Structure 1
């Protein structure tokens, strides 16, 4: 990609935004599957189904990043992939029943469309797009023809093949020119879609409830949790991630580690929290089972731990406050099992509010320190109204 092209701000197209609407529905379907079964097998089943849904979205985002897709051919291609994503979403509730074959075929066809869209790129078959068409797609189709146990095993292998492809073909992907602004925006939008599911997890059960004082308090606490998760990413992390992409020596590595892998964990954590909300808001006085608490607190813990991973990968710095908060959330998990749902929600909400307050103080102090350093280095005659910026 030339310097002139990089200097231009690549915008997300309307076709991409419309495409995202399909994945709003897909995430809702994955949440419903996880809501149906909370044990370890249920978690594995939901994750194995979520990976191809997410990877289909990632493949579309990457091809829209490295090419100009604002033309009739690519718009139609994106819409066809969206249709495949819709079929996948429809298959999710019965993925381990009669709709397993539909999920596999829909994924395979969507990845074939994506491969055709980027077919002009040299060596595209020997990369993640080729792996999806030649390996993981056929594995998903074959798994859809098998009983539940073998199906889960074969689909797990397909998910591992997709996730491993960027690592296996790391050197080949080094020649790909990624646009630094478009990619962070797209993944932020995907996370926003996942956070939207948490709002649905609050509002859906509450709308059918009596809405007495306890239930309204539970709604307020749950929304505070959702807003706290949003704040952690969009106030403290989003700009830092964009800065990391723009300044990285290897954009390929940042995109793979931070966006493709890191956001998979972030979205999975949010989905866990969203499903936990469905179990708590409607019956705030009832004690939760271990599965519901694990989804709520475990999802929040995974979300915060992932920021520890992303910060280290971006800047080789430890996200102390978030790691401490994650450890505290996970440590409290066993104690929350027998408490009323409202107490469980309020405790988690207070922890997230406290974490964001601490982060705010640290950021403000860092900005003040940077301003003092700039002022000390400037000549006496220099203007006093210098702004201080930069990612958190």
Structure 2
């Protein structure tokens, strides 16, 4: 069954889509330069989160990195949705986006010491961003009864309170704040169903964020070896790691990004897709890419050294999370899973204990082989599906 067949809407859904196209005026909302400038803050923020995970890449470190990444990601999601439903190509809106960016910059600066002396800076930066976002959408009736209100009244104060506390209470309050933010779209689902979204804008924005995360994988490849003599084994490991990064790019932008846009434009469940596929699904996709990027930093510089469990879990576990996320997003969009990507994720997890004693270059090569094979197989399947039947 093709994605087009699965995604076809019912008549009522088609009528709703037609009404929304009429409201759009037949045009597509595009990403503005202000939004792209705002993304530069996320470039720095992801680098900071990667650095935190690099220094503490056990289970506890991964949890700490996730706890600080979710508020950064949710500020970006809030800004993206606000830019989608409002005209942000005006001076007031641009200044608002820049103010949110300043709050995000404060948060990014605080990440290395978020669990030390910079906890209050992290919490205050988040609350500032949420206050500005709420001011930008305050013209919408009942805006406080939704995710923006939750950010101002619940998660923002929780993050500030956590920043004032020491010990295990801080990550506990921050994790609770993140859960409140993530749960808000579900809690206010009926209210959000009344919001009119521009379907072309959101896939482009979330794809750009994934590109930012993939950019961190390039930093993870080149950064550790840029100042070294660059012996042949390191150059080979750089090339193999780059193949992995390209493979991750291909999995998303080769086919998945178009499928996501198609689903958003044609499905009668558009608002559900925005929540499940974009707000939630891309959190997992981006987290997987960040984990792989940090894994590169642990492997490329010393290709002859056997990997420990931590770096290998980041490299292979991050790749498996990335692949599994596609199974989830496809299920949400079309009601079917992606068997090839799920099988590849299972293979990556099965291979992980087998390569733990191999040199880093060998572990990279095995993972690159899985991704190249997966992309090649999917390409052949698509070509066969496109061939006319006799």
TM-score by length of 2: 0.94
* Gap regions ≥5 residues in structure 1: 377-392
**How many pairs were matched up?**
371
Per the TM alignment, residue 148 of structure 1 is displaced from its structure 2 partner at its CA by 3.0
Corresponding residue for residue 347 of structure 1: 366
SS of aligned partner of 1:236: helix
Give 2:264's match in structure 1, choosing from 232, 242, 245: 245
Q: Distance in 2 between matches of 1:112 and 1:4?
A: 29
* Gap regions ≥5 residues in structure 2: 1-19
Corresponding residue for residue 185 of structure 1: 204
Whether 2:61 is the aligned partner of 1:35: answer no
Deviation digits for residues 257-302 of structure 1 (CA, Å, limit 9, x no counterpart): 0000000000000000000000000000001110000000000000
Give 1:228's match in structure 2, choosing from 243, 247, 253: 247
Q: Distance in 2 between matches of 1:118 and 1:23?
A: 22
Whether 2:336 is the aligned partner of 1:336: answer no
Corresponding residue for residue 196 of structure 1: 215
Corresponding residue for residue 16 of structure 2: none
SS of aligned partner of 2:24: helix
Deviation digits for residues 41-99 of structure 1 (CA, Å, limit 9, x no counterpart): 10100000000000000000000001111000000000000111111100001000000
Q: Distance in 2 between matches of 1:206 and 1:178?
A: 44
Corresponding residue for residue 231 of structure 2: 212
Corresponding residue for residue 336 of structure 2: 317
Whether 2:86 is the aligned partner of 1:71: answer no
Question: Larger relative contact order (C-alpha < 8 A, sep ≥ 6)?
Answer: 2
Corresponding residue for residue 27 of structure 2: 8
Whether 2:175 is the aligned partner of 1:156: answer yes
* Distance verdict in 2 for CA 1:6–1:224, change over 3 Å: farther
RMSD: 0.9
Corresponding residue for residue 357 of structure 1: 376
Q: Distance in 2 between matches of 1:6 and 1:205?
A: 50
Whether 2:303 is the aligned partner of 1:254: answer no
Q: Distance in 2 between matches of 1:176 and 1:250?
A: 13
Per the TM alignment, residue 2 of structure 1 is displaced from its structure 2 partner at its CA by 6.0
Corresponding residue for residue 295 of structure 1: 314
SS of aligned partner of 1:148: coil
Whether 2:157 is the aligned partner of 1:138: answer yes
Per the TM alignment, residue 210 of structure 1 is displaced from its structure 2 partner at its CA by 2.0
Corresponding residue for residue 63 of structure 2: 44
Whether 2:327 is the aligned partner of 1:308: answer yes
